[in-house]
Amino acid sequence: MDRLVTWITDNKIPVGDWMAALVEFIKDNTLSFFDILAASIGFVVDGFTSVLEWVPEPLLIVALTVGAYALRRSLGLAAFVAFSLLFVLNQGYWNATMETLSLVLFSALLSTAIGVPLGIAAAHRPWLFQALRPVLDLMQTLPTFVYLLPTLVLFGLGTVPGLISTVIFALPAPVRLTHLGITSVPRPLIEAGEAFGATRRQLLWKVELPSARPTIFAGITQCIMLSLSMVVIAALVGAGGLGVPVVRALNQVNVGMGFEAGFAIVLVAIVLDRISRPPERSHPQ
């Protein structure tokens, strides 16, 4: 038995060496592509962050409050948005919050733009979902620091590796829930559309997507929350935002700073969750 264990440990499969060689191969042969990609993404994200920081704080608070009311028609939510932003401004984390919002919105937008079409395709092609399932499982269970390393090697320090890592972490949510929503469409609805001569495109836009809309929106909301949960990880590679004071507080054992930044993150999470939720359907009396 001991010989068997010794033989197994002595004949280690070089998984780590294979992955390191793969990353180095990609870096050596596509470095210019990743440089261009990093510069483009960094320009857009940093530019949007600069715009948010350029707008006077009171004006932006009013605009976001009015926007929240226009979207949800809720005075309570609008008041909570105003309170949250005023609290962030009072605590001195305004610029960090704008950086976090920019990172979260762009990562959620990229994850949604990739995940929703991929989920639709997987729902219509079972073989594709079977192929995607182990990849999605790997993306959801692999520790974030593991795939943070190759993104750091390929893109360097800054916003871009944090954004790419966040997209990888959040992408499975819209894929899975979009697939669930499309596959859960009642069969009689599909048959009724086919009976009226609807094409596959018409079935998708007129039947499947409206029926799966709540589930798809739930996936987008979960995607936003997962993106926000990555702010501390992204700060470790120079992405900025509210994760920076959290990391600094951890290094300095500064309990006060940690709670201040933590409360700011919680308030931003609640605001984004309430705004991104699908509207509740009114049931007939």
**Chain segment 105-141, per-residue pLDDT in tens:** 888 889 999 999 999 999 999 899 999 999 888 887 8
3-state secondary structure of 38: helix
**Chain segment 142-188, per-residue pLDDT in tens:** 777 777 777 777 777 777 888 888 888 889 999 999 999 999 988 88
Closest CA to 148 of 246, 232, 40, 247: 232
The DSSP letter of residue 284 is: P
Q: Residue 284 pLDDT > 50, yes or no?
A: no
Q: Residue 104 pLDDT > 60, yes or no?
A: yes
216 neighbors 116 (Cβ within 8 angstroms): yes
CB atoms within 10 A of CB 61: 20
CA distance 122 to 264: 37
The amino acid that residue 235 corresponds to is A
CA distance 85 to 130: 44
Residues near 214 by beta carbon (within 8 Å), at least 6 away in sequence: 181, 278, 281
Global pTM? 0.82
Position 176 scores a pLDDT of: 92
**Chain segment 74-91, per-residue pLDDT in tens:** 888 899 999 999 999 998
CA distance 144 to 229: 11
The DSSP letter of residue 281 is: P
122 neighbors 175 (Cβ within 8 angstroms): yes
Position 248 scores a pLDDT of: 85
**Chain segment 210-243, per-residue pLDDT in tens:** 888 889 988 888 888 888 888 777 787 777 788 8
CA distance 152 to 58: 37
Is the C-alpha dihedral spanning 79, 81, 82, 86 positive or negative?
positive
CA distance 26 to 35: 12
Residue 282 — very low, low, confident or very high, per pLDDT cuts 50/70/90? very low
